[in-house]
Every structure is written in structure tokens, then in C-alpha cells.
Amino acid sequence: MKIHTRAVHAGDRKPAGAHVASTTPIHTATSYFYPTMAQLESVFAEESKGYCYSRYDNPSAAALEELMCSLEGGQSALACASGMAALHTAILTALTDRRRSIVAAHALYGQTVSLLMNVLEPAGIAVRFADVCDPAAFRSAVEEARPGCILMETISNPLVRVGPLDSIAAMAAEAGAALVVDNTFATPLLELGAAFTVHSLSKYLAGHGDVLGGVVVTNAAHAATLRALGRNVGPTLGPFECYLAMRGIKTFPLRMERQCANAAAVAARLAQHPRVERVYFGGNPSHPDAATIQRLFPAGLYGAIVAFDLRGAATAEVFRFMDALKMIVRATSLGDVHSMMLYPAMSSHRELSPKHRQRLGIGGNLVRLSVGIEDPEDICADLEQGLAR
């Protein structure tokens, strides 16, 4: 089945006695009992299917995890309380029985960099950053570090750089490293070859600004370790959030197609505006990674993030522009049905020093726009009236 169909049907309609609910119910029970202790023991021992305690598994979470495995082509998944919890769990699973070393793309979400530098490095895990868009330099870093894990984003936050995922996957296989890919910006519409795929469910998948959650999808080789780590660490996503995420996922392919088309229209309009110095968008023919994008991404589905530099603007001028927006929501997230804008230096990359941000190309005049499903003319009109202030 195609992804639009799988998004609607996968995970739902499990028999429950004589009836079958048309959508997965919200299962709030924390524990489960069986007619005999022998049956409960069999479930605890994972010799038979069933539920015993919701930190281990829950019918609502299991349905969402089945759905995500279907969308990403994985063998096992773990629904987590946030995208960062999912990423942390994926990295820990990847490093189990491997060298405690990570080679990460140098362009990452700021909180991901903070996780690597402030949590994992002090715990004895070596971290090295390299430019994933320079395959020769990245290969050299992998050969020198001999990592147990390679970490990257399909589309980097916020400058929308795209590394050659297929080449990086081959490097990881040669090095015996597990490739962990944060696929939040690209969504499952992009097929990956990673050992671990991570999503912030809060973004495009749920899509309506009402779910905080994350998910890890992995292959058969790592399935048992992922589930065991999930039991031990307990990053469990609640059943109500699982339900909302599944409800949002049913329409995510349609929303994403609309958002990508809108983003292309908005990027083209911004590129012509005299107050805009530079536009960062995956669909630009002049994008530095255009050849990689054309090879890896489905036509027209280049993401719905548009970042841009305000010409000669300092922080106060950026704030005046953002304060003038009437429809676009000033908020620290992305992927919702409504368009949203943030200031990376203040929010997504706040944890990084100004010098570190500058090295990554994140200047004080950069803003990030998550394009929604509104009429593109209305989005452009709001941007233009804000830029006119």
C-alpha cells in the first residue's frame, strides 16, 4: 500500500472480544490482569502477546508504534514522551555493545547539540562534529573516530542543509556504526536507509500543536535492545497523546504536500523582497545541496521550512518585524497546520554560544518560518506587511 493509505489504516482495528473499534481507543489502564497467573507469567516473559504494565507496553502506544513502523519500514518502534527523549533513547540503543563514540553532523538542532555536549560527553561518550555535506571530510572524521553511532538530520535545523544520506548510510555500514537520523523535517515521505529513525511527533506527524511526543523506529537487529531500554528508562508516551498523534498522522501526507507547495511559493516571493538578504529553502535551484535533494527527495516535497536573513537587521529590528506579524504565529515549534515563526538565536539554538551559532551560519538576522496550510497568498501578505514596517 502507498503511504497515504498506510497513514490512514495501519495500527487500527484490533479485535477486542466480539467487537472491533474503528479507531484505536484510549487505553488508560496502567496494569492488566489475566484469568491465571500462568498467563500473566507468559506475558511478562514475552512468550505470548499481551500487556502487563504500561511502562512496558500499552495498546494505544502499540497501535501508534505499529503505524510508525509501517510508515518508516521498520521492525520495531518506541513511542516516547518527547522528541528529545526519543533521540536520547535511540543514541543509547545504538551505542549498546558498540564503541562509545559519536560522529555527528555539525549542523543540528541546538538542543541536540546540548544533549551531545552536556549530557553524553560528561558520561564518557566521545563526540566529534563534522560537515555531513562534505562527504570526504565526513568520511575522514568517521575513519579517525571509529564511532559506534553516526548522527544526522535529513534536513538540518534551521539552515535546511541536506547531506547525502545514502552515502552516509554506506559509510556507517563500512564502519560498523549505527546510523541515527532525525527525520522530523522531511517526515516519512522520504525513504531512509538508517538503523534508527527519530521523529518529534509534535511536529508534522501530529500536526495540530496539541501533542508533545517522539518516536524511535528501528530495524530487527536493534528491536530487542530498544524495547529493553524503553522498559528500563521509561520514556513512555501517554495513551491520550498516542491517540492524538495517530489521529494527526492520518492526514499528515496531505498536509505535508500542501505545506511543501506553500513553502515553495513563499520562498520564491521572499527571494524577490528588498528587505530579505538570503532565503534558505530546499527547493531553490541554487541550494548548495541541490543535486543531493533532487536525487533523494520526491519531486516537490522538499520540506516546508523557509529560513531567511533580514538585510542588515539587528535583534531589535528582527523583533519589530516579528511583532508586526498578524496571522503567522510567533512560537517555538514547527510543523503545525498554522504558519509559525521563531528566532533561532533566542529559541531553537539558544543553548549555543554566539560564536558557535556564527560558525554554523546562524546570524542574528536569521528567522525560521514553518509554513502552514493556509492560502499562500495570505501567508505572503502577512510577511510583506511585516517587512514593510
**Residues noted as catalytic:** 55, 109, 182, 203
Q: Which residues contact 52 (CB under 8 A, 6 or more apart)?
A: 31, 32, 40, 43, 44
Q: In what order do the strands lie in the sheet with 276-280?
A: 276-280, 305-310, 366-370, 340-342, 329-330
With beta carbons less than 8 A apart as the criterion, state whether 220 and 208 touch: no
For residues 3 and 271, give the distance between their C-alpha atoms in angstroms, rounded to a whole number: 33
For residues 336 and 328, give the distance between their C-alpha atoms in angstroms, rounded to a whole number: 11
For residues 216 and 198, give the distance between their C-alpha atoms in angstroms, rounded to a whole number: 5
C-alpha cell at 328: 503567522
Q: Among 144, 140, 123, which Cα is nearest to 132's?
A: 140
CB atoms within 10 A of CB 49: 9
